[in-house]
Amino acid sequence: MSRRLRICLVASSRFPVQEPFMGGLEAHTHALVGELSRRGHRVSLFAASGSDAALTATQIPASSFPTSRAARADVGSPPEVWMEEHHAYLDLMLGIARGRHGPFDVVHNNSLHHLPVAMSELVDVPVVTTLHTPPVPWLESAVCFAAADSRFVAVSARMARAWSHAVDSVVVHNGVDTSSWRAGPGGGRAVWSGRIVPEKAPHEALDAASRAGMPIVLAGPIHDRGYFAREIAPRLHGQARYAGHLDQATLQCLLAEAAVAAVTPRWDEPFGLVAAEAMACGTPVAAYDCGALGEIVDDETGVLVPAGDVDALAAALVRASRCDRETVRRRICTSFSLARMVDDYERVYHQMADRVHAA
C-alpha cells in the first residue's frame, strides 16, 4: 500500500458537494474524496455549506463577507456573490498558510477560483490544481503567481493543449465508479443529462430525437430558466419529457434503460462526464465532436458528428443505439474508471510530497 497522505482538497464555495450534483465538478469532487478516504488517506474537504456529511472528510462551509454600505455605494463595486467567494478563498488560503487547518502533505485545488493558485507561494506544502475548464482570464492570470513547486492536472488531453501556452500539465482523465454506474438492459428511448444551459444545447438533442422518431428524456438542473422557457418547454410533448434534477441512483436507472445517450455541447467540452456515466451503464453515445469527447467515445461505443448538425445527430442516435452494450461498458471499466483516476492522482500527490521530503 502507498503511504497515506494528509490531503487538503479545496472545492467550490458556491455549490455543495452533495447529491443531486449541480454539475460534473461536484460529482468529481465527491467521488475523489470518497475513494481517497476509502484508501486510508486523511482528506480535509473545504467546500460549500450543505456538502455531504457522509464524506470521510472535514467540511468547512464557505465564509460570507458583509460588504459595508459605503463599499456597496462605489460605482465599481462587484456583486455580493463575487465578494463572498473572494473572501471565502482568501480566508481559507491564509488559514492554510498560517497552519490553522493542517498539517497537510499536499493541497489539491479542485475549484475554479484563482486565489488557491495565486496564493500557493504562501503555503508550505505543494499545491496541485486540476484544470476543469478551458482557459479563463482570472485563472490564467493566477498561473503567473503560482509557486514554483505547483503542479497542474488537465482532465483531458484537449484541456492540456488548451492550457499549454500558459502552463504545463499532466493528463488525468476523469473517472466514474463502475460499481455505482452499473450495466443495464437498454430500451427504446434516448436520454440527455447535464446542466440545462444554452452551451449544452439540449434543445438540439430534442430536435434530433424528434427527427429520428425516438422518445427522449432530459434530466439535470435548470441553470438558465429563460433558456428553458424559450427553447426546452415548447419542445416537450408525449415523446419528449423532462425528468427533473435527479440523484445518481435515479439517473443511473434512467441511463441503464436507455438505447442511447445524446451529448450536445456547443463549447469546448473539457471532458464529458455525462458520456462516461452513460457508457458505464452500457449505453452508447451519440454526440457532437466537441472538446474531449473524442477521447472517450470511439467507433465501437458511439457516433460523433459535427456540432450543430441536428440531422447528423438524428442519424447518429439510431446508429449508436446498435453498438454492443458490453463493449461500451468495457471501455469505461478499462480506461475511465474511478480507481484508475485515483491511482493517477495518488501518483501525482506522492511525487509532490516526496520531493518536499527529499529537499
In this predicted model, what pLDDT tens digit does every residue of 191-216 receive, in sequence order? 999 999 999 999 999 999 999 999 99
Question: How many CA atoms lie less than 13 Å away from 349 in the CB half-sphere?
Answer: 24
The identity of residue 255, as a single letter, is L
pLDDT of amino acid 1: 47
pTM of the model: 0.92
pLDDT of amino acid 59: 62
Query: Do residues 93 and 127 touch, judged by C-beta distance below 8 A?
Result: no
336: burial class by Cβ within 10 Å (0-12, 13-18, 19+)?
buried
Query: Do residues 123 and 107 touch, judged by C-beta distance below 8 A?
Result: yes
Q: Is 83 helix (H, G, I), strand (E, B) or coil?
A: helix
pLDDT (tens digit per residue) in 218-268 = 999 999 999 999 999 999 998 999 999 999 999 999 999 999 999 999 999
Partnered with residue 131 across adjacent β-strands are: 154
pLDDT of amino acid 80: 78
Is it the case that residue 150 has pLDDT exceeding 80?
yes
Name the nearest CA neighbour of 268 among 116, 163, 147, 345. Answer: 163
What domains lie within the chain, and their CATH numbers?
A: 6-175+337-358 (3.40.50.2000), 190-335 (3.40.50.2000)
